[in-house]
Amino acid sequence: MNFDFPLILVLATFITGALWGLDALLLAPRRRQRAAALPEPERERVLKEPVLVEYARAFFPVILIVLLLRSFLAEPFRIPSGSMMPTLLVGDFILVNKFAYGIRLPVLNTKIIEVGEPQRGDVVVFRYPEDPSVDYIKRVVGVPGDRVAYRDKILYINGKPMPQEVIGTYVGSGAGIASTGASHRIEDLMGVRHEILVRPGVPGVEGETVVPPGHYFMMGDNRDNSRDSRYFGPVPEQNLVGKAFMIWMNWDATAKRITWRRIGETIH
């Protein structure tokens, strides 16, 4: 089951704020009026806030701050699969810049302020076009108007092959051990150098398409183990969540350990 966490935060903020505000504006003055003519012990009992209001007053600012930070500044995500290996590993906890591609209202996802646009090479979290309740993370390889092709493990942008440099055979560990044996390469995506994994001889989805206006072509760095725009097509701009920029923790559930060296790494 997928929980709509932004909606839960908005509702929690509204409910706690409404309870606190209702008490402050209506109920508290009535309590003070009743208590004015009472002796001291009875007065304290009448003036005491209801438990529900006390909790609402305590939690409202905390929930509001979390909502604002998560909606407009940065949001944490956990990497559940190996589709972005070796850039991102299973168990990485990352931070996503929520204002890199425009400021949007929570829940409604309506853009209210233009800030920037995705560039080739950006690692982006987006809502899966076939099920917007699910978040995906991939790399932008094609922007609006690009002619993107993928043939024989080579990515082509507007007819030009993106150079690849083989740096060895990948050796995975923990949850990523299944990728051991893949060809470990560095791809130069029009000046953005990043690592990829491919498996020569393993058939994959090939083809060519022109990225329509307001859409972006996404691919995983683990090219033969990624469900991306080769399967579901270019991603609409309104599905973008933000740009991944940092790993703040890694927990390898298979090895049952924290990978300390990954903490604080930037994502590029």
103: domain CATH number is 2.10.109.10
42 and 140 share one domain: no
256 and 129 share one domain: yes
Residue-level pLDDT at 92 = 96
For the question of residue 138 being annotated catalytic, the response is yes
Q: Per-residue pLDDT tens for 167-179?
A: 999 999 888 899 9
Structure-token pair, residue 259: 């990978």
Kindly name the residue from 83, 179, 183, 226 that is annotated as catalytic. 83
Whether 226 maps to a domain, the answer reads yes
114 and 218 share one domain: yes
Domain edge (last residue) among 19, 38, 72:
72
Whether 268 maps to a domain, the answer reads no
Looking at residue 46, the DSSP 8-state letter turns out to be H
94 and 217 share one domain: yes
Count: domains in the chain: 2
Residues 268 and 24: their CA atoms lie apart, in Å, by 49
CB atoms within 10 A of CB 259: 18
Kindly name the residue from 71, 98, 138, 229 that is annotated as catalytic. 138
Residues 6+ apart with CB under 8 A from 215: 144, 233, 234, 235, 236, 237
Domain residues for 206? 75-262
For the question of residue 229 being annotated catalytic, the response is no
Residues 165 and 168: their CA atoms lie apart, in Å, by 9
Whether 267 maps to a domain, the answer reads no
Residue 1 pLDDT greater than 80, yes or no: no
Q: Per-residue pLDDT tens for 131-164?
A: 999 999 999 999 999 999 999 999 999 999 999 9
83 and 216 share one domain: yes
